[in-house]
A and B are shown apart, each in its own frame.
Chain A
């Protein structure tokens, strides 16, 4: 729970000695509450009080890092129940499940396929982020072979899964530099796991059959100094999963209940009757707070919707969605191809470029930076006027991209047409359709050089 400045003030020395750089203890307290200064800046706080303050000021949900280096996956530290209250911060990890019972060629093929599950969308890379390696064979050697292969041929962070605690930790020791998440840490094996988790410095995947069991395990880990946990409350159907995720998030954020203040992991791969259901359950659980979803899906048709879904739900509602300003080439246009212009509002861009692709007529799509606002609002605020577009034409040398002089503008911008006829007198300005979905029809019927 965040502390207020006044509450912090009560715990400070109140000498106003200024050594922290603040004029008074009160000023220091206010700054501390908003994160402007660090506790360490005051040399006079009593160590016990300091520990208490640190605890009270820590975010209600722990940040957990799985993996190391640039592929590390960071989850947790979420602040809200509903994304419109602020935003969701850390995209959940999508982990592909690979069993050591699968045949070698199957494993090789899967590893290769998972590496290819990367897609570009408005300048963002959407990809699968984890491998969940599962010791279903019960054999230590077989599991280590799988872990070794995944370690050597990919750079994904891992979740290591084994019911045998010895096998689990000897595999973990092999790839400890990659900081795997070890799973499951349960009521039964928690005491045996603690020294190994600490020695290797790894996060714990805590599993309980109920939230009470989870709480018992996370409390024990916390007391022993294992700070990073990911919780699996044991739910094995979608609706139970949603219930558990909701209660965990609420207990952490609204009640400040620390033993549940961790990100969660869920297993849509064990909840469903077929691939479609699994993809849907995975997206539903990501919508409802999962920190990791473990899936057995590797086909593009099933994974891609999931990746786009995560991208949507975790986009920041406080920021307008934008794309880069430039002249986009849709399906390799040439000097006789049409030129269209629109704003850099990402949804406009998507819909318009999608419609051009659908029309099967290559085109240049000029995207003018309007700060992410749509055509009419941008026109009103001077960012999508005749003058602004004439400047854009100069800046990007649009004239020399084509032989013709015809520009297609959004159909809603009727007044823009007059302005452009004045600003770009040698160009013919064509008023396009008001609905992007009519662009294919418009291009195939109206476009002639």
Chain B
């Protein structure tokens, strides 16, 4: 028996999505093969690794999660700046926690002002996330879309119950969106189909929702893998959007991450690495050390 490397070629590509604008804009997606399979296909863009920023003082974070930002954690603009200048983040993910209707319930205009300040002072690709509350998020994200018109933010999560309003505002003001459907590849596809009736597919990133190591990580892993298979192998156009994974928030709420700094960083990095291996194109980290580790490992 002679051996011939069993290489697999796919005649289609995952869509390329641009984040941000100007010279610091970044592309994600665009590959025609499985993650890290540069031996049989092309992966024009490395995965996007984003660092999380909250728009209010975090509560209840493990000391070692807060430590890297403890001097700036009450000022989202300074937090963002430190993330970029000190920790080398090339994409930021601002979570508008202040707008949580069960918490501070800040007004959409307030939140939008913070986003605008960060955009003006840093001008790097920015993901802006609401709290997953459909009504409130649509008010907040529409306001953010307006306040940052033309900046090509990535706005989310866009859900089944609010996609029309938010996507419309994103389209009008030139932003991309994160379409979120929980733990089910079919729901991901359904939402994409609904969106693509009026929204450009090259401005959609999908979020199957993330679970942390030890808390259902394998479900997220397999859903990302199946989305990628549908996209590349079955050539399903509605499954060729880049995949987004918001892992920091999930990992750092586990008791294991709160047990020690080493274990916490590894909990997050392991979850992140696993999703990258499944095919995630954009991952949000909370701890700069977890992000740095992943970056150094996938680029050597």
Contacts and interface: CB of A to CB of B under 8 A. Distances in A.
Contact of A302 (B6, B214, B223, B262): B262
A301 B218 contact: no
A260 B213 CA distance: 31
Contacts of A50: none
Given A301-B260, A317-B218, A276 B254 contact: no
Interface in B12-62: 36-39
Contacts of A257: 1, 3, 6
Contacts of A311: 214
A237 B300 contact: yes
Interface string B122-153: 00000000000000000000000000000000
A1 to B, nearest CB: 13
A212 B226 CA distance: 32
Of B1, B296, B298, B300, which is in contact with the most chain A CB atoms at under 10 Å from its CB?
A: B1
Nearest to B216: A347
B113 interface: no
Nearest to A239: B36
Question: Which of B6, B211, B263: most chain A CB closer than 10 A?
Answer: B6
A257 B300 CA distance: 31
Interface stretch (B76-84, B162-170, B188-196, B270-278): B270-278
A403 interface: no
B258 interface: yes
B3 A215 contact: yes
A202 interface: no
A212 B2 CA distance: 9
B229 A82 contact: yes
Contact of A242 (B6, B36, B218, B267): B36
A405 interface: no
B226 A260 contact: no
Given A83-B222, A84-B222, A215-B3, A357 B255 contact: yes
B226 A84 contact: yes
A279 B270 CA distance: 8
A222 to B, nearest CB: 11
Nearest to B220: A312
Nearest to A285: B277
Contact of B274 (A299, A309, A347): A309
Contacts of B258: 358
B215 A280 contact: no
B248 to A, nearest CB: 14
Contact of A312 (B214, B265, B266): B214
B225 interface: yes
Contact of B273 (A246, A255, A280): A280
A363 B217 CA distance: 27
CB-CB nearest 9 A-B residue pairs: A301-B262, A84-B222, A312-B218, A301-B263, A250-B6, A308-B214, A305-B266, A347-B216, A354-B255
Interface of B: 1, 3, 5-6, 8, 36-39, 211, 213-219, 221-223, 225-226, 229, 253-256, 258, 260, 262-263, 265-267, 269-270, 273-274, 277, 293-294, 296-298, 300
7 contacts: A238-B297, A243-B39, A251-B5, A277-B297, A283-B270, A302-B266, A313-B221
